[in-house]
Amino acid sequence: SPRVAGCAWGCFGSRVVSGLILGRILAGVTVLIGGTFFAYLVFPPIAWLEQRGWPRWLAIATVYVALGLLLGGIFAFLGPRIAFESRTLGQDFPGLLTQARDSIVGANNSLLSSVPLEARESAANLVDQLVVQLQTQAGAFAGQALKIALSVASVITALIIIPVLAAYIILD
């Protein structure tokens, strides 16, 4: 009946509109919740410095600088190591796949020697197919890497906005 169809379309439309509205305000709500949580986390050292006679603005600045130096030191230590390991994996990956294929097919492996040769060759063919698929999907992987980079940029932006909001919350 037209009345039921109209009601169904109205319910569907209201859900779509409310979903769009909630999607728009979700980023703002996330920043507000994150800022409040961050303010809650950094308030104890700020209060401790204030009890020792420091002005609030100086206590906030000191805690933020200390956190920045701590996180910067961690990233300065871990960043080059992660980059080195990623490069090494990229260079060694074809050799690792070849070793995996050879160890699957090779009869010298005591663990796989009881497996029939046809099954081992089938497993080796699966490894070869994996290599071919990785080579053909390299463009898609690069696209995913770009999406990941954009997500990281938005997280970094949030990590800048949240402490600034928390500083305003603490200053009040």
pLDDT tens digits along 36-52: 888 888 889 999 999 99
The answer to whether residue 25 scores a pLDDT higher than 90 is no
Sort 2 into a burial class: Cβ within 10 Å, 0-12 / 13-18 / 19+: exposed
Hey, how many other C-beta atoms are within 10 angstroms of the C-beta on 104?
19
What is the pLDDT, as a whole number, of residue 95? 78
DSSP state of 55: -
- At position 166, the amino acid (one-letter code) is A
Provide mean pLDDT across the span 148-162.
Answer: 75
What's the whole-model pTM score?
Answer: 0.53
- Tokens 């010298």 belong to residue: 108
Average pLDDT over residues 124-150: 73
* The pLDDT of residue 81 is above 70: yes
Helices (H) and strands (E) in the chain, counts: 4, 0
pLDDT above 60 (res 123):
yes
pLDDT of res. 44 = 92
Look at 148 and 48; give whichever has higher pLDDT: 48
Q: How confident is the model at residue 69 (pLDDT cuts 50, 70, 90)?
A: very high
What's the confidence (pLDDT) of residue 41? 86
Work out the number of other CB atoms within 10 angstroms of the CB of residue 125.
13
Check residues 165 and 106 and name the one with the higher pLDDT: 165
Residue 169 parent element (H or E): helix 138-171
DSSP secondary structure letter of residue 1: -
